[in-house]
Amino acid sequence: MAPTLDEVLAAARAALAESLALDGRSASLEAQLLLAHALGRPRAWLLAHGRDKLHAQADRFETLLARRLAGEPMAYILGRREFYGLDLLVTPAVLIPRPETELLVELALAHIPDSAPWLVLDLGTGSGAVALAIARHRPATRVCAVERAPDALAVARDNARRLGLNRVQFLEGAWFAALEPGARFQLIVANPPYVAQDDPHLAQGDVRFEPRDALVAGADGLEALRDIIAGAPQHLLPGAWLLLEHGWDQGAACRTLLTQAGFEAVASHRDLAGQERVS
């Protein structure tokens, strides 16, 4: 006999808690999100239908659950991630937007005047998360978003279209290569790759499924940050800003690179976990 949705959820919760070492609440939430996704219903719908039998979509649910039990990130299975209030499409071609990166957006918005027509450049936009969040909250800005990986750029363009944010211009290329030589901005932001290639953290959890090129930046993790800091001055207007996300232990190295490149007012900002995250 077909099990009820409540029974299916209880079994899935136990399996998720055990395989992925999740706490009870997270396991419960993930089980609900996977089942709701399989059924094509909102999660809240499950609350009133716990006694329904799981018939037609049982195979679909089993497939989703198996993927999650094999460690695949929820965001890739659901194809979605919320970032700074935006519902974003994500695929394995893009890094999954992180809560730490909301600090980069927060600082960018703190610099951009409410109604001034600023030109902003987002380097390595991935899903478009940072560029789109800035565009949503600063209607007068023109955001240019650059991405080297064509399959990532397609996701970013899709997100812009779905969110109706057509003030964002997308360019394909590595860092500054796609820009007109004379292009200058009031603000450049980037969440570049900044993990060292032999960092053991790359073998754990969600990052195993994410694009390497979006995470890894050479032996010391600073390769991309160095390239961006070296190239930025010729694309900044007088008095303009550069804001870079970096690893929790890279604040001092970034400040040194920025000072050497002639930047003034160099400072690092801490994320909600108290780590230096943006300089």
Distance, CA of 230 to CA of 71 (rounded, Å): 38
Minimum gap (Å) between residue 223 Cβ and ligand GLN: 11
44 φ, ψ (degrees, to nearest 5): -60, -30
Q: Which is closer to ligand GLN, CB of 18 or CB of 151?
A: 151
Is 255 a residue that touches ligand GLN (CB under 6 A)?
no
Residues 6+ apart with CB under 8 A from 41: none
Map the footprint of ligand GLN across residues 87-116, applying CB under 6 A: 98, 100
Question: 125: annotated binding-site residue?
Answer: yes
Q: In Å, what is the CA distance from 124 to each residue of 2, 29, 97?
A: 48, 31, 12
Choose, by CB under 6 A, the member of 178, 195, 261, 266 that binds ligand GLN: 195
Annotated binding residue 102: no
Closest CA to 141 of 163, 116, 122: 116
Name the residue nearer to ligand GLN (CB basis): 98 or 184: 98
* Residue of 257, 109, 120 lying closest to 184 (CA atoms): 120
**Cβ distance to ligand GLN smaller for residue 27 or 104:** 104
Question: Residue 193, annotated ligand binder?
Answer: yes
CB of 95 vs ligand GLN, minimal distance in Å: 6
Choose which of 215, 240, 243, 258 interacts with ligand GLN (CB under 6 A). 215
Counting contacts by CB under 6 A, is residue 236 touching ligand GLN?
Answer: no
Q: How far is CA 186 from CA 13, 116, 141, 234, 242, in A?
A: 49, 11, 10, 12, 9
DSSP state of 202: G
Q: Is the Cβ of residue 12 or residue 190 nearer to ligand GLN in the bound state?
A: 190
| 193 counts as binding ligand GLN under rule CB under 6 A | yes
Separation CA 149–CA 223 (nearest Å): 18
**Nearest approach, Cβ of residue 73 and ligand GLN (Å):** 11
Binding to ligand GLN by residue 279, rule CB under 6 A?
no
Q: Which residue, 38 or 214, has its beta carbon nearer to ligand GLN? A: 214
Beta bridge partners of 269: 278
- Any known ligand binding at 239? no
- Whether 160 and 170 have beta carbons less than 8 Å apart is answered as yes
- Determine, following the binding rule CB under 6 A, whether residue 191 of this chain makes contact with ligand GLN: yes
Among 84, 170, 175, 194, binds ligand GLN (CB under 6 A): 194
- Is 192 annotated as belonging to a binding site? yes
* By the rule CB under 6 A, 207 interacts with ligand GLN: yes
| Interaction pattern, residues 149-188, with ligand GLN; x per rule: CB under 6 A | ----------------------------------------
Tell me how far CA of residue 173 lies from CA of 37, 53, 200, 273, in angstroms: 35, 51, 29, 33
Q: Confirm whether residue 175 is marked as ligand binding.
A: yes
* Cα gap 149→9, rounded to integer Å: 38
Secondary structure (3-state) at 106: helix
Residues of this chain that interact with ligand GLN (CB under 6 A) are: 98, 100, 191, 193-195, 207, 215
Binding-site members are 124-128, 147, 175, 191-194
